[in-house]
Amino acid sequence: ARKKIICMLTEIIEERRASSSLHHDMLDCLLQPEEGSKAKLTNDQIIDVIIALIYSSYETVSTTSMMAVKYLHDHPKILEDLRNEHLEIRKGKLPGDALNSNDYKSMNFTRAVILETLRMASIVKGVLRKTTEDIEIRGFVIPKGWKIILYMGEMNYDPCLYHEPLTFNPRRWM
């Protein structure tokens, strides 16, 4: 699938680079260097950005949403508190009134549930990078050109950072 996407995106990028017309979309933004910058993204860099956006906007959102439903199902008291926060906000509104930015800002417990869900169900456990220069970390040198994975998933379960890290507890964010 990645090879097919790369071929498709390469073709689109080459067409855009050859054309003088603007489409006023994300690809145009990636193709145009920032004002005052001489740096121009390569096709490979643009393709990496687009694939990362596709992946991060689909798989992560659906999986994290599913995990939020699971945690709320497993913790009925937290679900009740969340529901009560939302009902309290609705009390101050007429039927049919939409929520506004102040309503969203006042959802402190909702924010805590979201943060705890993201902590517990972190989808992206690490990121893959290629070193562009020699890097020394604690006396060990990672040579230029090495591919490394920065594994971040375990820090969300570190008992030095979070009391009872395996427990779903949104109140830790309050």
pLDDT single digits (tens) 138-166: 999 999 999 998 877 788 899 999 999 99
Q: What is the mean pLDDT of the chain?
A: 91
Segments making up each domain of the chain, as ranges: 1-72, 75-174
Task: Give the pTM.
Answer: 0.65
Give the per-residue pLDDT at 13: 94
Which is higher by pLDDT, 84 or 58?
Answer: 84
Angle between helices 108-120 and 76-91 (to 10 degrees): 150
Give the per-residue pLDDT at 35: 72
CB burial of 75-104 (b: ≥16 within 10 Å; e: otherwise) equals beebeebbeebeeebeeeeeeeeeeeeeee
Residue 126 has pLDDT above 90, yes or no: no
